């Protein structure tokens, strides 16, 4: 995979030639660019780092820490840690920023540097452009020997994260403990195995763990989609558990499976959480353009306003702040609760889902039956690097003169009975093609029609 630099940070495959993959040279230059940006911004010269369980993690972490130290920046190493744990640690440790070493849902050969500001939030697009310019400038100054940064480890950040979840005003710990729930977790051989079980234990929830060996040798494609979670759905047919949960390698996405192996899915994680939150704290709701219409529907049920943002956590967070949203996130199972922090977080997502189950007295299957039913198709096309995607999408708009369109992020076509969203990925050299309708067949038809027109137009 080519080295990709975007609002999601620096991402690529391990090995190969410098400048084309995420090699040691690229890691050092990228981290140095971040360190230069941090120093110039006037933030505290202290950075929190943490990694998921993939095999390249120790190597990438060592290079990252050493590069920051070489610039006179102190490093707090959280070791194996979830993305939301690192985000929260940036603030609690008074750091100027953070670097999360995780390629999220990508396979084990990938890794990435995900860059945070002093608020523990992903850096802005403008900051990212400044940082990338710094990387390319080659004009970076390193510290003298007496000014090198320090390296310390901090193994207490996870419990701090769990404590904050337990103290959250909408997490009903007593109701959850009284309910005596049991869950099955697919930890996909990463840090979900060390973060979700202790949270469950402190909530009085029995947790059966699948794929709990923390070696980064992912037992299946780590993206929490139905085709990748057949083992979990099969286990839920016979386990007797109240809830099946799957996380991605860095634990910022949460997918749900109901008793009997019923797929609830990642799209309905935010719907379920919003349903619960809006009962207690009404307010605006935000998700990205590729999220299910069911999010807007649940907001309307409570008489609240729904807003759509461009795809990408930083974009959702910016919109949430602008409209003072009470809950938000992405349809990929990412829950963002501003009472805790502005970041996707599977721990607070799970705690709020369990609170909803405990206080409603309903099963997750019964809750799902109460929501408007939509089916989504997620497809993709390889992106020819020579293609001017913006120009191609503009040409696509002209093919649908009578359809409502949104182009703040790629092109979204809103039909009467569904929608299709085409956009370039922030993390892979592809065009994502998402579609949703009331039936799987209609979603496939919509996606197929738009995809065919795109291919015909571009020769993709």
Q: How far is the C-alpha of 372 from the C-alpha of 418, rounded, in Å?
A: 13
Closest CA to 449 of 420, 416, 425, 423: 420
Does the active-site annotation cover 360? no
Contact 408, 390 (CB under 8 A): no
In the beta sheet, which residues pair with residue 152? 76
Backbone torsions φ then ψ of 97, nearest 5 degrees? 180, -170
Strand order in the sheet with 306-309: 306-309, 285-288, 327-330, 334-336
Helix (H, G, I), strand (E, B) or coil at 185: strand
Closest CA to 229 of 105, 108, 130: 105
Backbone torsions φ then ψ of 447, nearest 5 degrees? -65, -45
Contact 186, 210 (CB under 8 A): yes
Reported as type and span, the H/E element at residue 208 is: strand 206-210
Contact 98, 87 (CB under 8 A): yes
Backbone torsions φ then ψ of 187, nearest 5 degrees? -90, 0
From 56, 104, 290, 346, active-site residue: 104
Q: What is the DSSP string of 366-431?
A: HHHHTSPP-EEEEEEEEPPTTS-HHHHHHHHHHT-TTSEEE-SSSEEEEETTEEEEEEE-SSSSEE
Q: Cβ neighbours of residue 286 under 8 Å, at least 6 residues apart? A: 306, 307, 308, 309, 316, 319, 320, 323, 325, 328, 329
Tokens of 106: 């990508």
Using the CB atoms, write b or e for 150-160: b if 16+ within 10 Å: eeeebeebbee
Other beta carbons less than 10 A from residue 384's beta carbon: 14
Place of tokens 């009997």: 260
Contact 78, 154 (CB under 8 A): yes
Q: How far is the C-alpha of 320 from the C-alpha of 368, rounded, in Å?
A: 25
Tokens of 99: 């670097």
CA of residue 301 relative to chain centroid, distance: 26
By annotation, the residues acting in catalysis are 104
């Amino acid at each position: 995979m080519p080295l990709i630099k975007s609002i999601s940070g620096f991402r690529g495959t391990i090995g190969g030639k410098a400048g084309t993959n995420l090699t040691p040279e690229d890691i050092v230059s990228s981290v140095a660019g971040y360190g230069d940006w941090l120093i110039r911004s006037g933030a505290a010269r202290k950075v929190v780092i943490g990694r998921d369980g993939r095999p390249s993690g120790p190597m990438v972490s060592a290079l990252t820490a050493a590069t920051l130290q070489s610039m006179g920046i102190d490093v707090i190493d959280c070791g194996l840690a979830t993305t939301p744990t690192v985000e929260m640690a940036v603030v609690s440790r008074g750091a100027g920023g953070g670097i999360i070493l995780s390629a999220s849902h990508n396979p084990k050969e990938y890794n990435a540097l995900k860059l945070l500001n002093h608020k523990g939030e992903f850096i802005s697009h403008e900051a990212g452009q400044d940082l990338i310019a710094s990387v390319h400038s080659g004009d970076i100054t390193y510290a003298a020997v007496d000014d090198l940064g320090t390296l310390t480890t901090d193994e207490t950040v996870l419990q701090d994260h769990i404590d904050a979840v337990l103290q959250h005003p909408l997490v009903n710990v007593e109701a959850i403990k009284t309910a005596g729930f049991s869950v099955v977790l697919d930890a996909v051989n990463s840090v979900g195995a060390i973060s979700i079980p202790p949270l469950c234990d402190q909530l009085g929830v029995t947790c059966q763990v699948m794929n709990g060996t923390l070696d980064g040798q992912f037992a299946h494609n780590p993206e929490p989609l139905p085709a990748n979670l057949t083992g979990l759905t099969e286990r839920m047919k016979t386990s007797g558990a109240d809830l099946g949960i799957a996380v991605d390698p860095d634990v910022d996405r949460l997918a749900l499976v109901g008793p009997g192996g019923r797929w609830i899915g990642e799209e309905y994680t935010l719907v379920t959480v919003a349903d619960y939150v809006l009962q207690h704290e009404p307010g605006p709701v935000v998700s990205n353009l590729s999220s299910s219409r069911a999010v807007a529907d649940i907001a309307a049920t409570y008489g609240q306003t729904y807003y759509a943002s461009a795809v990408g956590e930083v974009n959702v967070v910016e919109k949430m702040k602008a409209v003072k949203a009470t809950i938000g996130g992405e349809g990929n199972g990412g829950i963002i609760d501003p009472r805790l922090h502005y970041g996707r977080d599977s721990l607070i997502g799970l705690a709020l889902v369990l609170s909803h189950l405990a206080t409603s007295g309903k099963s997750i299957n019964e809750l799902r039956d109460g929501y408007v039913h939509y089916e989504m198709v997620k497809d993709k096309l390889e992106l020819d690097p020579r293609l001017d995607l913006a120009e191609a999408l503009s040409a696509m708009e002209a093919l649908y003169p009578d359809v409502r369109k949104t182009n703040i992020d790629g092109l979204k076509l809103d039909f009467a009975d569904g929608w299709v969203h085409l956009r370039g990925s922030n993390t892979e050299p592809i065009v994502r093609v998402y579609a949703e309708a009331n039936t799987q067949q209609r979603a496939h038809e919509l996606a197929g029609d738009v995809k065919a027109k795109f291919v015909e137009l571009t020769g993709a």
